[in-house]
Structures are given as C-alpha cells and as structure tokens.
Structure 1
Amino acid sequence: MKRVVVTGLGLISPLGNSSTETFAAACAGRSGIRRLDDGFCPRLMTRIAASVDFAGERHFDAPRLRMLDRSSQFALVAVRQALKDARLDLAGTDPSRTGVFLGTSMGGAQSTDDAYSTLYGEQSDRIKPFSVLLAMSNAAAAWIGVDYGITGPALTFTTACSSSAVAIGEAARRIRAGEADIMIAGGTEAPLSLGPMKAWEALRTLAAEDPLDPAASCKPFSKNRTGMVLGEGSAI
C-alpha cells in the first residue's frame, strides 16, 4: 500500500479565487453569501446565493469559452492553480499513470438550462452547437484530460452533495493501490441559473433571506435556521 499525499490546491470559491484568498477570508469571518442581481431574480422567492466573482473571459479565449460551461471553467482554472501549487509539470510524467476524478451534482446545469430556455421558452429550434459538450456531467474531467494529455482513468462521480468527497476518496484509493502515481481530484459546481434554483426552491430547502444581513442567511446551527443556500465553485 502506497502513501497518499496532497501536494497542491486550487480553489475557485465565493470567498476568493485562490486557496490563499479563500483561507484568509474564512479566517476573517467573511461570508460568501450575497444578493443576486441577475435578470431572472424577480422570479425567485429567495434571491441569495454564494456566487463567485469570476469572468471566464479573463482565462479563456472566445472560441474556447463557447465549449465550456461555467462549471468546467471553474475546474480548469482550479487545476492550473493546483498544479502550480504542487510545482508539478505533467509533461515530465507518465500520462497513463495520471488520472482525473471529479465530483459534480448537476454538471453543466447552466448550459442545460440555457438550451431548454431556447427550446421551450423562446420556441426556437436553434440551440448552441456545443450544447452536449457544455452540459454533460463529465465535461470538466474530460477537458482536463484533453488539456494535459492525461490517458489514465478519468471518471466523474455524481452522488449529490457527497460527489466531490467520493471523487477524492476514490482517487486516493487508486494511488494507495498502486494503480496510479498522480490523481487530479476534487469537484466543481455552477447551478446558479433560473431552472436549478427554481427546482431547489420547489423542494422547500432554501433559506429565507435574513432581513438584517443577507450574508447571515445560512445558519445551520441556529435555532432560527430556515434552510440552506446554494453556491458555486471548484476545489481541486
């Protein structure tokens, strides 16, 4: 049995777009929850979420962006950070001994929502040509493999809220068993569009907005708790 070591971290989160920024914000007691100002917000009962300050244009050119859902964008940037943090150049490693295990609950949720909005809302038969690549749950893991020439195992785990934890655990197992030398592991999620948010709203699990401070709306250990708050981001 081999030892398993975490050598690098990458993080895109509501508290910051790096592990350093996120850790500093958490230590300072900052909340990542804020009021949303998207055009669909008037249709929501609760207009709060833990959203990320992230613009894909800063990281990818226009042709590439057309093929990447927001969740995949998060993951690809987080992977860059993790490899840099680990001081790891995959070009000098055996690609067949490197794998990618990611977790996601809803995959390319925003892209799926956009396609359905076009089809059913606008009654148009013309949807984006890359809709399948954008929406499929394993898109992020697949793009990581393509970008870095990884030919080892590339799997996506969808087990609701435990998806990323399962991915990390299974990645560690592969190394411990001697089946891989390097595993890129973690998760990504970007469900903050109208369809997914209305679906969660219908489940009646979302927290009501705190009237005094929207950032304090998620309080699971309080007797006054009202539910959870949806968020987005990626950790690798």
Structure 2
Amino acid sequence: MSQRRVAITGLGLVSPYGGDLADFFTRLTAGESAIGYLLTDDQPRPLSMPFVSCPGFDPDTALGKPLASMMDRFAQLGMAAAFAAWDDCGLPRKADGESRDSWGCAWGTALGGTLAYEKGYRELWQKGKERVSPLAVVLGMNNAANAHISIQLGLGGVSMSHTVACASSAVAIGEAFRRVRSGEATVMLTGGSDVPQAYGVARAWEALRVMAPGDADSSPFACRPFAADRRGLVLGEGGAALVLEDWDHAVARGARIHGEIVGYGTSCDHSHLVKPEAAGQVRALNATLADAGLSADDIDYVNAHGTATAEGDPVEVAALKQVFGERAERLPVSATKSMHGHLLGAAGAIEAIATVLALREQAIPPTAHLDGRLDAACTGVDHVLSGRRGQKLRAALSNSFAFGGSNAVLAFRAVAS
C-alpha cells in the first residue's frame, strides 16, 4: 500500500511568553528566556526554584468555566493548545457534513493529573476531610486531555495517550503521523501537556540532583545546554499541539500548510534508567532518516534534546557526530530548552513546533547563554549561539531522549514556496 504525505496544517500552544505563535518564535529566535522564579507559600518548606510558568493563562477565559472545571491544569493547557491548533488549521470545531469517525487524537503527558491527586492528599491528610471530589478520577487520569479533545472536536477515531517520560509528546506525534501516512486516519490532533509544579513532583526532581539552581535574578539564565558551567535542567508547564492531515485532503480544502512531517524513528537504550547511551540515540536518528527517505546531507538543522545535564549533553553530541560524520561540524544544532525550559511530556511537542517554524520562517533559534561557555565534551557540531535568519533550510530533526532509555526523533521538511 502506498504511503500518503502528511501535512502540518495547524499549530497551537500556550506560550510561556504569553503571546501567539509569531510572538513565540520571534522571542525564541531573539534568544529571550521565558524562565522565571517559582516561590510557593508551602510551609514549612516552600518550593523555590527556576521555573517556566504560563502566568497569562486563564483556563476560564480560554475554555469557559464549565469545561475548565472538569479538567486538571495539564488538561486545561492541552485543550487550549488543541483549540488554538484546530482554529489555526481552519477546520470548524463541530463537524460540518464531513464524517470524523476516522479522525483521532494522540496525546503525550509524563505526569497527567498529578495536581488533582496532590489536592486529594492535602485534603485527606492535612485538612482531615473524609472524602475527595467525585471528579478526582476523571481529573487525574492520564488520558483526560485526549478524551476532552476528542469530545470537544468530535473526533471519532483513536483517542490515546502516551506516557514515555520526556519523549511522551514526540512519540504521540510520531504515532499520529503513522496513522495519517497509512491512511488509517485523515486528520490527527496531536501534541502534549504537563504541569510539574506539584510539590511532590518538584521535590522528586530536586532529589535527582539534575535541577539547575537559581534565584530571582539568575533564573532566566539557569538553563545552559552544552555549556561548561551548566548546572542542570529547568522544569516548566505548558501545552503544545499540531494538526496532522492527509496532504491531498489539506490541498483539496485549500488549507495553509506549515510544513510536512516525513519521518519518525524510535529506539531503547536498554541499558540504564537515567543514563543515556549514544548507541541508542544513533539507532533512533538513523531509523528516522531511513523512514523519511533522507540522507544525513539533507538535514539542515537539529533541535536538540539538550537538557543541560552533565550526562546528557555530551552523549547527544556524540550521537550526532556518529550519524553525520564529517558534516557534523557544519550541522546547525540548538537546544531551545535554554529559553522555554523542559516541559517534560510536552517538550517534544513544543520543540516540534519550534522546528516546524524554523523551516517555515527559514530561521534558526539559538541555544541561549552559551557564548564563550562551550564544554569541550560538546564540541564537533555547529552550535547556534544567536538566532540566524535568511537560512536555506530543507529538512530538520527534533530529538527527544527520555529517562528509561526511550528515544524518539521526528523529521520535518519545508514546503517549497
């Protein structure tokens, strides 16, 4: 059976900068950090850490109070991003004549509704209540976001959630891509959302000793992927969504096409729960190129996983050097987590959007805070230190490498103007 081309017709996110897609990419390309400082009133030990939040997001305004009240914050962010992507693609929210029985949703989240569960624990153990909200289960379940999205948009096909740690939404996008390419679905709404500021979650990440320190003044510069003085990752909340559509269907209805998704590859390091391995990443990168029918010479940009951890960054660079060989030194690479933070299960989706916009705008966002600080163990690729416009970008990769050794890589191609 012949494979169908897959167009990207909708992009949407709840931006940590507070603006729309154009504002997001403009600030990203300018190297502007969205990282702030989180200080809670938890007693006796408040949370205090660099963090990326979406302070301008009001779920009641974005979704309406009745719908918002049925969701944990991770699902609210996901639903808002999904609505934005759907509106961007030009399809009505309610089916208008055309059947959506084969249209579906694939969503990624690492944490799901942890805030809902934490609220229950606080009410039972701290406040002495005898019961929790009757909505607690549906607020907290990991598939809440894709369930609400499917209901609100009338998507009668597959509705599935993927939990693969930091690769969750990259895997969701890849699986959605496969369904459209095979003809099983005409349209797929895909992406991811996460909210990691539950007290227990934040403390668990602190215990791993991979979190970058910082105060109110230094937090914007706390995440420094590939830098010799990097201290770790910065967590963030957010939601990001893409509409993937059969190419012919998109063209027939006159849809604007942002770009084309052309490949998806996965692998498992199968060696360690938290220590990455270059060999596994190489397998995922090569699998993606093969799936896309591309060679290493066709790739003009890589959006790196780049978490700013001591262990992860050099391994990713080593994998890129193995795959791209001598050309690696001329391969532009950047880690946008330096500006929008690590959104865990939503990371792959927001970075996929950044990559698609890079191809569409023919511009590359930088790895912020890296100038003059490059770790010798991370040399060998063309690190983008400041935003580059007026580039000739044909195809790009977006890497997502997760705890558990799960690796997912997405390949995108620019649409000829």
TM exceeding 0.5: yes
Match 1:5 to one of 4, 7, 18 = 7
The within-5 A match list for 1:127-206 is: 127-206=132-211
Report the counterpart of residue 25 of structure 2 in structure 1.
Answer: 23
1:223 aligns with 2:238: no
Q: CA deviation at 1:102?
A: 0.4
Q: CA deviation at 1:205?
A: 1.5
Report the counterpart of residue 80 of structure 1 in structure 2.
Answer: 83
CA displacement, residues 69-122 of structure 1 (integer Å, 9 cap, x when unaligned):
111111111111111111112513322110000000000121111111112222
Report the counterpart of residue 57 of structure 1 in structure 2.
Answer: 60
Structure 1, gaps ≥5 residues long: none
Change (3 A) 1:73 1:37: same
Q: CA deviation at 1:219?
A: 0.7
Q: Is the 8 A contact 1:46 1:206 kept in 2?
A: no
Greater strand fraction, Structure 1 or Structure 2: 2
Equivalent pairs counted in the alignment come to: 236
Q: Which amino acid aligns with 1:25?
A: R
Q: Equivalent residue of 2:233, what SS?
A: coil
Report the counterpart of residue 92 of structure 2 in structure 1.
Answer: 89
Q: Equivalent residue of 2:189, what SS?
A: strand
More deviation in 159-168 or 124-133? 124-133
More deviation in 45-54 or 188-197? 45-54
More deviation in 151-160 or 122-131? 122-131
CA distance in 2, matches of 1:138, 1:210: 35
Q: CA deviation at 1:201?
A: 1.2
Q: Which amino acid aligns with 2:104?
A: G
Q: CA deviation at 1:176?
A: 0.7
Report the counterpart of residue 372 of structure 2 in structure 1.
Answer: none
Q: Equivalent residue of 2:133, what SS?
A: coil
CA distance in 2, matches of 1:60, 1:203: 36
More deviation in 125-134 or 161-170? 125-134
CA distance in 2, matches of 1:101, 1:179: 13
CA displacement, residues 148-206 of structure 1 (integer Å, 9 cap, x when unaligned):
22110000000000000000000000011110000001111111121211111122211
The two structures have a TM-score, normalised by structure 2, of: 0.54
Report the counterpart of residue 276 of structure 2 in structure 1.
Answer: none
- Aligned Cα root-mean-square deviation (Å): 1.8
Match 2:35 to one of 14, 17, 33 = 33
More deviation in 196-205 or 136-145? 196-205
1:213 aligns with 2:218: yes
CA distance in 1, matches of 2:108, 2:230: 28
Q: Equivalent residue of 1:2, what SS?
A: coil
CA distance in 2, matches of 1:42, 1:55: 29
Q: CA deviation at 1:210?
A: 5.8
Change (3 A) 1:87 1:62: closer
CA distance in 2, matches of 1:27, 1:41: 39
Q: Which amino acid aligns with 2:192?
A: G
Greater helix fraction, Structure 1 or Structure 2: 1
Match 1:121 to one of 120, 123, 126 = 126
Q: CA deviation at 1:207?
A: 0.8
CA distance in 2, matches of 1:32, 1:97: 38
1:104 aligns with 2:106: no
The two structures have a TM-score, normalised by structure 1, of: 0.93
